[in-house]
Every structure is written in structure tokens, then in C-alpha cells.
Amino acid sequence: MPQILSIDISPLTEPWDRHLESIGVLVNLVLTFPFTVMCMLLPFFLFLTYQWHILFLYGFWYLYDRESPKNGGYQKTWMQQTTSLLATLMESFVWEFTFPGLRFFGCTLVSNFKIMIRREILLLSGFIDCSKESIRNTLASEKSGHAVVIVVGGAEEALDAHPNMHKLTLLSRKGFIKEALRSGASLVENPKGSLLRRFQTWFKELTSISIPLFYGRGLLQLNFGFMPHRRPINTVVGAPISVSKVTAPTAEEVSRLHNLYCEALIELFETNKSRFGVAEATKLIIE
């Protein structure tokens, strides 16, 4: 591998599909960070440049369309099949053959739908907000075959991401269990105490975003940067846990189903960990 000043350079002679993968990751990074900041600053730019008419027009559109994130988002569009982040993460073209008849809705923070332009991109990509009302509306739709994809947590787990450690913060998270009972939908499954960790936890509680320390690679070199190192991402889907519909679930019913879900998750991890290079001695920690 060629080097310049002890920096490993990504060779241009690599197969074209590897370059396409890198470009795809770069596009997602740009849409997630720099583009979001630009969208947040856009209203101020329009205001300061006297483009108020654009703000008024968008304001009317926002008021007219404000309930879309809670009502299933936009209907299926070409964007959901081509440029969707959800499609990228879930390999939707493969999933359509693996789970025929199911339409997947990705859930994200309500605050993401408060940002100009980014809101429309998320809706066009098949996302809805993760509020109770949104989940109930989607699962209670007259059309069958709706599946809601919820990343339970994420911010706390990012701070607990260390080599050879698999830790989930799940014991106190039961909201998704209660919504599954209400709708009868099947369930398909830094050291703490340090000054840095306390700051990270405070920032996460303030903004719902965690800021873990990380290192990656660049687009043309492999030693440092914001892009992730090339590693396979494997998705394992467990057998669905059948849930009987309960209009007003009790705390005992929620806890019982939550325990069943955690047990199934641990069993799924133990059954498949050796297939993906996880040591036999490694355990899934749920706290």
C-alpha cells in the first residue's frame, strides 16, 4: 500500500465497487453533519438576505404538512428505493425478497423534523417520528404489513462502545414494549464515573445526542478522518415474538413481555455470535 509521509494512501487501482462504497458512506456523512448544520442556518441566511418570501412560503407548507411525520410520512417514493438512508442500512432490496409484503418505517427523533429541508428528505426517505402517536398511527393503519423500525437507545450505547464489549441499555426502556402490546404488533428483536463520561452524559441529556470519542479514516487515506474503517455490518433478524393486543397494558404485562424480549435477544446473540467472529466467552450485557 503506497505511503506519503507515513500516511497510508488508498490506491486508486482498487475495484470500482469499493470506491462506490466509500462515496456512499461519504454522502451519508455529509447529509448527517455538514448538510444538517447548513439547513439549520438556512432560515437565518434567508432572513438576513431579505429572502423573507421563501421563509413565508415554507412556513405555510410546514403548517400544512406538520402532521405528516405522525401519520406515516409520505407515500412510497422513488427516493425510498434509491437514496434512502434506511434503504442503505437495511438493504431494502434484499429485505423485500426476505420479508415480502412488509413496508418498513424508520423512526427517528422528533427534533429531526424541525429542521428546514432535512425534514422533507427524511420524509421522502421513509422516516417517521418516534413519538407514541406516530407509532400508533402507523401500526393501526387499515393497511396491513406495516413494520416500525425503532433503534432502542443508541446515544448511551455509543458511549459504551469498546472493543470486544457488547452492552445494551435496555432494562429501563419499556416504552416500545407498551406500544407493541397496545397494537398487538410482533416484536422482532468510556468508563462510567470519569469526568469525560459525566460531560458526555450531560450533553446527551441536554441534546439527545452523544459525543463519543472515535477515530476513523479519510476518503483517500486510511490513518485518520471522520469516515468509518471498512468493516462488514451484519444484520441478524430473530423469530417474531407474538404479542396479543392489550388496549391498556398493566405494568406487570409490560415487564413480562420486556423480560421475554431480553431473553430472546440474548439467545439470538449467543446463537449467532460465532458466525461473525465474536469470541465464545463474550456475553451480551443488558443493563
pLDDT, residue 88, reads 45
pLDDT, residue 5, reads 59
Question: DSSP character for 247?
Answer: S
Cα–Cα distance for residue pair 199/270, rounded to 1 Å: 34
Highest mean pLDDT among 68-77, 139-148, 187-196, 239-248: 239-248
Write the pLDDT tens digit of every residue in 15-58.
Answer: 777 777 778 778 878 877 888 889 999 999 998 998 889 999 99
Cα–Cα distance for residue pair 18/180, rounded to 1 Å: 40
SS3 16: helix
Highest mean pLDDT among 162-166, 169-173, 196-200, 250-254: 250-254
Write the pLDDT tens digit of every residue in 186-231.
Answer: 888 744 544 555 655 655 566 666 666 666 777 776 677 777 777 7
Cα–Cα distance for residue pair 61/280, rounded to 1 Å: 54
Cα–Cα distance for residue pair 287/168, rounded to 1 Å: 6
Cα–Cα distance for residue pair 154/109, rounded to 1 Å: 12
Segment 97-104 mean pLDDT = 75
pLDDT, residue 19, reads 75
pLDDT for residue 87 is more than 90: no
Closest CA to 69 of 3, 26, 125, 27: 125
Q: How many CA atoms lie within 13 A of 179 on its CB side?
A: 21
